[in-house]
Structure 1
Amino acid sequence: KTEKTYELQLLNSEIIIDGKLNDLGWVDVEELSDFMSINYGLKQIPSKKTKVKIACDNKNIYVGVKLFDDSKKITFKSGSYDDFIDTFDLNSDYFIIEIDSDHDHQTSYAFAVNSSNVKSDYLVYDDDLIDDNWNAEWISEVFVDSSGWSIEYEIPIDIFRYSKGGSLTWGLNLIRYIKRHNEYMAWVVLPEEKVGIVSQYGHLKNVNFQQKKTFNIKPYFAYDNEEYEDQYYPYLLDENNGDISGLDFSGGQDTYSLSQSNNKIGFDINYHPNSFSVLDLTYKPDFGQINQDASEVNNTAYETYYEEKRSFFIENSLFFTNSSHNNILFL
C-alpha cells in the first residue's frame, strides 16, 4: 500500500476555539482532503468533501475540520458526553480523529465530535479492541453555515504518552460519517483482508514536543448525616425472675433517637515525570466523586452493569482490562 503521511506544523498565531476556522493561525497550515468512502469494503469517491488541518503549539494539538454538506440535510443529535451508541453511531453526522502517539501500532487515543458538538473519547488497544471507559479533558466547538459544518479541536499534549526524542512520527487516522447516506469515509481505509486497526494507520510526522513534568491532585470531601427517632413503650419486668411480662402503658412512651455523621476525605494524585511514564495514586476512591449513573429499569434476569467512572481506574484503564497485564501487584 502507499503510506499516507501528514506533517504537523507549529502555529504562528493563536487559535480561538469557536468552530469557524477563520483564525490567521490556520492560513499557512497544510490541509489534507484525500478521504475515501467505504462501501462494503470497496473504496469509492466520497459523496461530500472533507478538509482537515492539524497544527500545534507547546501545549496543545489543534485540529480544524471542514465537512462540506447541505446544511439543511445534516443530521443533528444532542446527547450526553461519551454516549457514543445512542448519540453518534447511526444517529448523527460525526467526525473522529485517532492518534497512535506511542507509535507502537497497538494503541491509539480517539476523539469524536458530532454535528451537535457532543463529544466522545475512547482508547483502541491490542490493535483492534475498544475501551470506551477512558476519558480525557479536551475542547471542541462546532459551527454550521450554508457550506456545511466545521469543527475545531484543542487537545492537550499531556493526554498523550509518547517516547522522548527529537522529531517523532505518530500514527494517525481520520473518520467521517454521514448518517443520511449511512456513509463512512476515512483518510486511511482499513483493508478487509488484514486484521487490526491501529497497525494500518497513516503517519503524522514532525512531532516535536518538549518533555515536561506535570502534577495534579484531585481532592474530594463528602459529608452525610443520619438521624433516627422513634417512640416506644418500656417493658414490664417480673419482680421475681426479671423476665419480660409485657409492656408498661402507665407512664407514656419513651423516645429513642440516634444521630450519626460520617466524613469522607480522599484524593487522586497524578504525576507525569515525563511523556512516557506516569504515577497514579488514589486514597479512598469513592463513587461520590462521579456523576450519578442514569436510572434504568431492568426487567431481565441479569444484573445491571455500570461502567467504571472513578478517575484512578479510568486514567490507565488498560491496566485493569487488558489480559496482558494480569500480573499486577495492588498495594
Structure 2
Amino acid sequence: MRPLPVSIQVLLNSLLFVQLLLTPLTASDDSSPSVMIPRLANPVKIDGYLNELAWREAVVIQEFYTYRPVDGQLAEEETAALLAYDAGSLYLAFICFDPQPDRIRSSISKRDDISDDDNVVLYLDTFKSGKETYYFSFNPDGIQGDGIYIDMIAEDSSPDFIIYSKGRRFKSGYIVEVEIPFKSIRFPSEGEMEWGICLARSIKHLDKDLIWPAISRNSTTFVPQFATLFGLSGLSAGKNIEILPETTASQHGQRKSQTDGTEKFVNDSINYGFGVNLKFGIFSNLIFDLTYNPDFSQVEADADRIDVNRRFPLYYTEKRPFFLEGTNIFHTPINAVYTRRIVDPLAGAKLSGNLNGLEVGFLGGVDEYYGSTDYLSQIAINPPPADTAFRAEEFIDKYRGSYSYHTVLRLRKEVWEYSKIGILFTDKQFKDTYSRTYGIDASLLIADEYSLTFQALNSDTKDFFDQTPRSDPAFNISLYRGSSTLNVQVAYKDIFPDFEVANGFLERDPDYREGSLQVWYDIRSDNSFFSLIQPTLFTNIMFNHDSISKKIESYFAPSVALTLLGQNTLTLAYYRQFEE
C-alpha cells in the first residue's frame, strides 16, 4: 500500500478553500442541501490516482453523517467525495480514510457481490422523482455493483450499466475513481437539470454506514431525502444506437446402420441461424429495443436448484439483456410481469422511458416455446379426467408449431409528492387460448412515517381443456410504518380461485387469502458491546379463499437478533409452522 500522494492532499485543501469562497453548497427551502457540479475542461483518466488537473475543478463533499448504527451524527471517519462532469460522463472519486487500514475488507469477487466488503455508493435520482434511483457501488478494489432501487417496493440488481472504475489502497485508506457515461443512464431531455443525489460509505469492521446528506431513518422513505445536484446542462448521451448481429451454426451426426450390415457415422446437414438485437435511444429518456431470433448463449446460466418434490414453482431472475432495459417500471406488488415466461422468443419489441413525468413501458414478444413438442407433451400428461375422448397425439398436433403472442403495457404517474398510481395490462394469446390481466396499483406516502401500497387486478382466461372463459380478481394491500426504532408492516393478499397471470409469477397456486404482521424494534448504539439489538415478531396465516375455516398455512416466529461490532450476529428464535 502506498501513502496518499502529496498532490491529492494539496488538491483537497485547494478545493475546500475554493468551496468556502464560492459556497457551491447551499440549503434549499426544505432544508435538504444542494450542490453545484462543475463542468470539466480537461480529460480524466480512470486509474485511481486523481493526478489529472481536471480533479482540481471538482466540487468536494466532506461532511458525511452516520446512518447506522445511529443516524444524524457527524461522522468521525474522514471521507471525501469529488464530483464533476463533461459532455459525455459523470466523474466521481471517493477518498476514504480508515483508522485501521489493515482491517479494510475487500475481495476480488464477481459483479454485484460486494455487500460483505467495505464499499462506497453513489445514488442518482435523475428524474428527481423522489421514488426511484440508480445506485452504483464499489469496493476498495473497484469491483462494481449496480442496479435500481424503488422506494418502498424493491431493489433490482439485475441491470448492469456501463461504468468504469478503479480502486487503489494507500497507507491510510483507499481511493475509488469512477466514470459513468451518460449514455448508460436515463435522464430528462431538457436544458439545465436537477438530480437527486446521495453518497454513502460502509465500514464493515466498525459496523458503520456513513452518508451524505444527513438522512433520517425515522421515515418510511429514503429517496425523497436526497440532496439536489444542479448545474448539469448540455449533456450528450450520444445517438445511443446499438446493433448486435449474431450468427450460429450447428451440425448433428449419429451412427447409422448400412445396407451391408455395417454402421457408419453420418452427419446431418448444417443448420444456420441469424439474429440481431437493436437498441435505439429515441430520446435520452425513451429507449426502443428490438430483437429477432436472439441467441442468449452468452448469458450467465441459472444456478442449479432442486425442483424435486416441490409444491411451488421456482423463481429465476431475469438475466437476458433484451428484457433488462426499463425493467423497474414493470415491478408491482403482485408479480404480474415475469419476463421469463417468454421462454424462446422469435422476436420482441420494447419501449421504456419517462415522458414528462409519465413512465411508459411496452413489451411485445413472439415465443416459439409453447408450440414445441416438449411443452405440449408436458401438458398432455394431465388431461381433464372427464374427457375420455382425449388423445395426446391429436392435442399435440393441433398446437405444434404455433406461436404465442405476449403483450405488456404499463403506465405510471406521480399524483402527489412521492406518491404514484399506475395501470397495467398484460396479454398472452396462443391459438384459441388466452390469458389477460389488467388493473391498477399505487404507492402512497402518508405523512412521513407511513406508506400504503395496494394493487387490484382482474384476469380473463380461456385455457386448453376448458374453453369456457373464466374471470377472477386478486388484491394486495400493505401498510408500513417505518422509523429508526419501531417498525410495523401489515399486509393482506387475496387471490381468487380462477385468477391467472400467464405473463407473471405467483408463489403458489391461486385460491387463498393471506394476512401477515411483522413488528421489529431497533435498539442501536455506537459505544456498547452490541451495535444492534433487534426483537422481532413475524406472524402469518393463510386460508382457503372460499372458506376461512380451512387453514392452509400459518407461521409464528418471535426472535431477537444481537449484532456485535464487526457484523457478527447471534439470533435467538422460536419458529412454529403449520402446513396443510
Q: TM over 0.5: same fold?
A: yes
Residues 1:187 and 2:212 are matched in the alignment: yes
Distance 2:78 2:190 in 1: 36
Distance 1:128 1:152, change over 3 A: farther
Distance 1:319 1:228, change over 3 A: farther
In structure 1, the residue matched to 2:103 is 73
In structure 2, the residue matched to 1:2 is 31
In structure 1, the residue matched to 2:177 is 152
Question: Which amino acid in structure 2 is aligned with residue 216 of structure 1?
Answer: E
Contact 2:62 2:80 survives alignment (8 Å): yes
Deviation at 1:116, TM superposition (A): 2.3
Matched pairs, number: 308
Distance 1:127 1:100, change over 3 A: farther
In structure 1, the residue matched to 2:58 is 29
Question: Which amino acid in structure 2 is aligned with residue 194 of structure 1?
Answer: S
Q: 1:121 aligns with which of 146, 158, 175?
A: 146
In structure 2, the residue matched to 1:141 is 166
Structure-2-length-normalised TM-score: 0.49
Distance 1:330 1:199, change over 3 A: farther
* 1:264-283 aligned within 5 A: 264-283=273-292
Distance 1:67 1:254, change over 3 A: closer
In structure 2, the residue matched to 1:313 is 323
Instruction: Output one character per residue of 1:129-162: Cα deviation in whole Å (capped at 9) or x when no partner.
Output: 2111111111000111112100111100112222
Contact 1:220 1:289 survives alignment (8 Å): no
Distance 1:32 1:115 in 2: 19
Distance 1:169 1:300 in 2: 52
In structure 2, the residue matched to 1:222 is 248
Deviation at 1:57, TM superposition (A): 0.8
In structure 2, the residue matched to 1:105 is 130
Instruction: Output one character per residue of 1:220-271: Cα deviation in whole Å (capped at 9) or x when no partner.
Output: 2222222111448x8xxxxxxxxxxxxxxxx644557452533232222111
Identity of counterpart residues, as a percentage?
23
Residues 1:38 and 2:67 are matched in the alignment: yes
Q: 1:165 aligns with which of 171, 187, 190?
A: 190
Distance 1:35 1:279, change over 3 A: same
Question: Which amino acid in structure 1 is aligned with residue 105 of structure 2?
Answer: T
* 1:47-86 aligned within 5 A: 47-69=76-98, 70-83=100-113
In structure 1, the residue matched to 2:293 is 284
Contact 1:319 1:325 survives alignment (8 Å): no
Contact 1:271 1:280 survives alignment (8 Å): yes
In structure 2, the residue matched to 1:327 is 425
Contact 1:95 1:176 survives alignment (8 Å): yes
Distance 1:278 1:328, change over 3 A: farther
Deviation at 1:19, TM superposition (A): 0.9
Distance 1:231 1:185, change over 3 A: same
Distance 1:36 1:134 in 2: 29
Equivalent position SS for 1:287: coil
Question: Which amino acid in structure 1 is aligned with residue 274 of structure 2?
Answer: I
Distance 1:330 1:268 in 2: 23
Distance 1:275 1:166, change over 3 A: same
Deviation at 1:180, TM superposition (A): 0.6
Distance 1:112 1:300 in 2: 37
Instruction: Output one character per residue of 1:7-46: Cα deviation in whole Å (capped at 9) or x when no partner.
Output: 1111121111011122111113220011111234432332
Deviation at 1:50, TM superposition (A): 0.7
Moved more, 49-58 or 213-222: 213-222
Equivalent position SS for 2:323: helix
Residues 1:13 and 2:42 are matched in the alignment: yes
Contact 2:194 2:232 survives alignment (8 Å): yes
Distance 2:268 2:81 in 1: 61
Contact 2:307 2:314 survives alignment (8 Å): no
Deviation at 1:289, TM superposition (A): 3.7
Equivalent position SS for 1:312: helix
Higher relative CO (CA 8 A, sep ≥ 6), structure 1 or 2? Answer: 1
Deviation at 1:75, TM superposition (A): 0.9
Equivalent position SS for 1:76: coil
Residues 1:175 and 2:200 are matched in the alignment: yes
- Could you say what the CA RMSD is over the residues aligned between the two structures, in angstroms? 2.6
Distance 1:206 1:111 in 2: 21
Contact 2:195 2:228 survives alignment (8 Å): yes
Distance 1:256 1:299 in 2: 37
Deviation at 1:52, TM superposition (A): 0.5
Q: 1:202 aligns with which of 211, 227, 233?
A: 227
Question: Which amino acid in structure 1 is aligned with residue 94 of structure 2?
Answer: V
Structure-1-length-normalised TM-score: 0.84
More strand by share: 2
Distance 1:292 1:4 in 2: 44
